Structure 1
Amino acid sequence: MSTATPAERPSALKIALLGVLQILSWGGSFYLLGVLADPIVADTGWPRQGVLAGASLGLLVAGLLAPLCGRLIARIGGGTVLASHGFFLSAGLWLMAVAPSLPVFLLAWALIGAGMAGGLYDALFTSLGATHGLAARPIIVGVTLISGFCTTLMWPLLAVLAHTLGWRLTCGAYGVVLLAIYPLYRYALVAPPAAAAAHHARGHGHPALAPSIYWPMTLLFALAAALMTCISIVLLTVLQARGHSLASAIALGALIGPAQVLCRIGDLVFKRQAPMATALLSSGLTAVGLLVVDFAPAWVAWGLVCYGAGNGLRAIVKSTLPLVVVNPADYAEVSGRMARPALIAQALAPLACGYLIAHLGSEAMIDLMATLAILAFSLCLWLAWVVARAARARELQ
């Protein structure tokens, strides 16, 4: 499958700026309640599960809107879509800051979810892929190297602000900061002039991608997203149930972050351009890592490093693998459609994890995650075979 005509590569300054903007967006949405949930519960008396449900609702809304964002990126360019998402995040944070009740608080998260659909990794990497084709890979890696420090930077900052200003003023002030997203994205992202014309020239039907490729790839991305979310929720619980102290569990969990960064640096250094091989490596490392965590407790540190390396490649795979099989003019729309199941899986994962741990225990939960990781690797092997067979068929035509 041909790739998009390469546009001018953004400068190192613009790549760094995109990484910083992602930190701001993730910090004001996906990772927000990691710090503010306790202050909100303490101040309002709302049920903790109800407060945490806000993040799930945001992800659900993001999943429902992801295909629309993909179509908009294809038609009007990623710069406009990415630049505009800050308005939704700001509106949601401002509504949250004045929310008098839990239903209004959840409505605020619906607005934040709309911003997440148009501004987090899925939208940005779709825009970069549609603009630069496979040449987007080093740009994406560069962005993730910077944005990977989101929690390292934003959680302490949010904690200080919440302690100093209170959670409501923190949300209001953050909403003001996010208004700066619009001009900065307009500067950092410029869509190719022919992007919209190419899309309209193809018409408005569903992009041509065989179901035998579309559905395994979509399910693979959804499984990977659900696994990442589940690990972030249950890892400390599993490790403590096995006898680790909280400090020891946190130290072991902290191995995942550096492993993710190192594997991305390795990808950038070696400049590999084989998305299918990267997908197999990512899903294989994830499966091996979780199997080690599950069945070899003495080697848990190495298992988490292996898992972290596999998960670190996940964002690269999700953004570049469709480029192997999708026409460039259809890439943005297909990516948007593929993003929906993954975001919905992330939205439902916390509820599923809580139910399974309560009824089956933490050991059954890690068994299930290892099984799902094996399933994802098997699915990736099947996908590699289907893609190779399709490529051979095109060569014979």
Structure 2
Amino acid sequence: MLQILVWGGSFFLLAVMGDPIMRDTGWGSQWVYGALSLSLMVSALLAPLSSRLVARFGGRVQLACSGVIVAFGLLIVAASQTLPVFLLAWAIIGIGMAAGLYEALFATLGALYGERAGRAITGITLISGFATTLSWPLVALAIEHLGWRATCMGYALVLLLSTPLYLKVLPAGGRQHLGKCASAQGSPAVDRRQYLLLVWIFALGAIIMTAISVQLVAVLQGLGYSLAAAIGLASLLGPSQVASRVLQMIAGKRHPIWTALVSVLLVALGVLLVAFAPGATAAGLLLYGLGNGLRAIVRGLLPLVLMPASQYVALMGRMSRPSLIGQALTPLVGGYLMQQFGAMGVLGVLCCLAMVNVVLVGVVLRSLRRERF
């Protein structure tokens, strides 16, 4: 639930709040939605530092502080009367995102539990899959009755009261576990090839996810669907993402490379159906949602298995930077593609990226089969 609150007050907030802000202030959409790009870029730059802090001090306090930082940014958003102040507020929110979203949380769990962190990561991503399902309707209802500024202040208050619960939920420690791993394993070297493959796999997955999150409704309208139909189809993503994580928990323990392969195959098939089989758009979005739901689990589990345990925390921050930079640039590039080439142009690029990701996961799987399987 704490992750749902932080995600809902940062990454997902402008999807619901963007239009009310633009209507009230007169600021252009490129600036309002560009604020999220700024926030993601700040998060990308700070991600390695965030992981180093987790490695040095443990992540409990940092995760608790993340909600406080996001709340501070939301209070500035609520008070902003000029665009520079608004952008500053989202830069501050980006600091909170670096301190408290999945990368920092996965690093904290890895530091606390080592290879046993897999179950906790799967469970948390399962619950966090409801972030949009819960936050979007509640934020929209609050905006309708209170206005967007009061909604920001109310959301900030909720974060201030709730995120310090990380101090009670998570046990103290983490540094001790890392120290034992480092001494026991002698800090083995990172396989550079595997590391780069994982960086690209995660980056491409994050870019596809961001493009779908930001542009799906507009893309569906470009394919001929009405606004109501596009929103209805887009609503299929949340339940399908959660369903895939439930199935992952039921399926039991297996090497996460197989989860990664299923994830990228489902994403590719889903995007291809939306692009080239108009009658199967709903099925395509369900398949995409299933694959994207597994993607969040893969981000936490695959490095935990393939990378040295003693370096997992530091690597999570370094590996997340390209993904976050790609996410920051995606709304800008996606908007250009939509303007110049229409919905099919956006979908065509996403299909290519999804197929490349299938190939990259196949390369990792092939190398692992030679070494272990």
Give TM-score scaled by structure 1 length.
0.88
- Structure 1: which amino acid aligns with 2:323? A
The residue number in structure 1 matching 2:312 is: 331
Deviations 1:94-122 (A, max 9, x none): 22122231011101111100000111122
Task: Say if 1:75 and 1:199, in contact at 8 Å, map to a contact too.
Answer: no
Give the match for residue 208 of structure 2.
Answer: 227
User: Do structure 1's residue 178 and structure 2's residue 156 form an aligned pair?
Assistant: no
Partner Cα separation in structure 2 for residue 338 and residue 187 of structure 1 = 29
Aligned pairs for 1:201-216 (under 5 A) are 208-216=189-197
What is the match of residue 341 of structure 1? 322
Of residues 181, 194, 211, the one that matches 2:176 is 194
Q: Secondary structure at the match of 1:37?
A: helix
Given that 1:31 and 1:151 are in contact with CA atoms closer than 8 Å, whether structure 2 keeps it comes out as yes
Q: In structure 1, how many angstroms separate the alpha carbons of the residues matched to 2:369 and 2:141?
A: 52
Give the counterpart letter for 1:382 in structure 2. Answer: V
The 5-angstrom pairing of residues 172-321 of structure 1 reads 172-190=153-171, 191-192=173-174, 194-195=176-177, 197-198=179-180, 208-321=189-302
2: distance between equivalents of 1:195 and 1:105? 41
CA deviation after TM superposition for structure 1 residue 252, in Å = 2.2
Provide the rounded CA distance (Å) in 2 between the counterparts of 1:390 and 1:212.
Answer: 14
CA drift of 1:239 comes to: 2.4
CA deviation after TM superposition for structure 1 residue 40, in Å: 1.6
Mapped to 1, the partners of 2:335 and 2:251 lie a distance apart of 40
User: 1:199, CA displacement in angstroms?
Assistant: 7.8
Residues 390 and 337 (structure 1), Cα distance of their counterparts in 2 relative to 1, 3 Å cut: farther
For residues 305-334 of structure 1, the C-alpha deviation after alignment (integer angstroms, 9 at most, x for no partner) is: 111111110011000000122221210100
Alignment partner, residue 126 of structure 1:
107
Contact 1:264 1:313 in 2 (8 A): yes
1:29 corresponds in structure 2 to 10
Q: Percent of counterpart pairs with the same letter?
A: 47
| Uncovered stretches (5+) of structure 2, i.e. residues with no partner | none
Match for residue 69 of structure 1? Answer: 50
CA shift for structure 1 position 246: 2.3
Q: Cα offset for 1:178?
A: 1.3
**Corresponding residue for residue 55 of structure 1:** 36
Tell me the SS of whatever aligns to 1:313: helix
Q: 1:106 is matched with which residue?
A: 87
SS in 1 for 2:44: helix
Once the two structures are overlaid, the 10-residue window that deviates more, 59-68 or 378-387, is 378-387
Structure 2 distance, partners of 1:269, 1:187, is: 28
Specify the code of the residue in structure 1 equivalent to 2:60.
G
* 1:198 to partner: Cα distance: 4.4
Q: Tell me the secondary structure at the aligned position of residue 10 of structure 2.
A: coil
Equivalence map 1:349-388=2 (5 Å): 349-388=330-369
Name the amino acid aligned to 1:327: P
Kept after mapping to 1: 8 A contact 2:257/2:365: yes
Residue equivalent to 2:75: 94
| Matched residue, 2:143 | 162
Deviation per CA, 1:103-159: give whole Å up to 9, x if none.
Answer: 111011111000001111221122223322343223222222222222222222222
Deviation at 1:197, TM superposition (A): 3.7
Give yes or no for contact 2:14–2:33 (8 Å, CA) kept in 1: yes
Query: Where does the alignment leave 5 or more consecutive residues of structure 1 unmatched?
Result: 1-19, 393-397
On the 8 A contact 1:69/1:123 being kept in 2, the answer is yes
Deviates more, 1:164-173 or 1:261-270: 164-173
In the TM superposition, what is the alpha-carbon distance from 1:207 to its structure 2 partner?
A: 7.9
1:133-148 correspondence runs (5 A)? 133-148=114-129
Cα deviation, residue 193, structure 1: 5.7
Could you tell which deviates more after superposition, 130-139 or 379-388? 130-139
Letter in 2 for 1:339: S
Q: Is the 8 A contact 2:132 2:238 kept in 1?
A: no
Mean Cα displacement is larger for which, 363-372 or 133-142? 133-142
The answer (yes or no) to whether the contact 1:96–1:105 under 8 Å persists in 2 is: yes
Distance 1:223 1:56 in 2: 17
Q: Report if aligned partners of 2:44, 2:324 keep a CA contact under 8 Å in 1.
A: yes
CA distance in 2, matches of 1:363, 1:131: 45
- Does the 8 Å contact 1:74/1:199 carry over to 2? no
CA distance in 2, matches of 1:225, 1:29: 16
Secondary structure of residue in 1 paired with 2:33: helix
Mapped to 2, the partners of 1:254 and 1:86 lie a distance apart of 27
Q: Which amino acid aligns with 1:194?
A: Q
RMSD (Å), alpha carbons: 2.2
Task: Determine the C-alpha separation between the residues in 1 that align with 2:214 and 2:48.
Answer: 27
Change (3 A) 1:210 1:349: same
Secondary structure at the aligned position of 1:272 is classed as coil
